[in-house]
Structure 1
Amino acid sequence: MKKVIFMGPVGCGKTTLSQRMLGLALQYDKTQAVAFYPDIIDTPGEYILHRQYYSALSVTAAEADVIALMQSATDKTQVYSPGFGSIFPKPVIGIVSKTDIAESDAVIQQTKQRLREAGARQVFCLSAVDEMGVKELLAYLEEEEIK
């Protein structure tokens, strides 16, 4: 499997998705520092929310094969600036999380569009809690060649 780095604001589901992908029990655990697993890098949400940490994201992303920009379907803010993903010389995907509790499909579509504008070539919609869409993400990460 390709190594993925999860980036996104506090509470968007990076750690929960990591736990799901690793087969661990789902429990809330605020990420205080970058967590490294064999195929996953989980970053603190503050790294996206504060520009002074962008260089830390850039350096940490050097260890990954795929950059995953995450945003919750419950977060209606503009998290990423347009073209944000272009700072990474690697494939960038988007992940809309918490789709199981989204207000509407229109909100999910709007979040997908924001991630595309940030530079995501492909966007996955999922819920780590009910496992919806997780298999599709795993299949993508297990592909021989990343698109």
Structure 2
Amino acid sequence: MAKKQGNFLNTRWNLRRPVPKMWVELSVGMPKERGGGIQQLFKVRVDGCHLCDYRSKNRVMNAVIKKLLQSGNYPKSCPLLPNVNYTSIRFALNPDHFPAYMPDMKFNTKIDFYADKNVPLIKASANVEVIRRQS
């Protein structure tokens, strides 16, 4: 989309078998100014079967989870069913979701879904830039 309208993410996934339990791991990091690499800001792993009920002390984390759930047709609890199109339509974050003191910045976010504690199901990564629009 045109930059002035913002950007969004659409996803669709269809499982071949039921997933009785799922874990979601979300991490956010910023590129280091010197030496390259990523400075991890925070990382959390939560029970994906109860994502609707999860509340973090981190306001940004709560905004990401809320928008993810609002944009999709994800089930309220496990199991995830096979042959169902789980979709996320127009998932995007608004700068209002971030604290007012947060400067314009670039960061990387990773959302990984695990069928078991260590068995990867879906891995997603996005490079994001927060730019506050001037009114």
TM-score scaled by structure 1? 0.28
Where is the strand percentage greater, Structure 1 or Structure 2?
2
Where is the helix percentage greater, Structure 1 or Structure 2?
1
Structure with larger Rg: 2
TM-score scaled by structure 2? 0.29
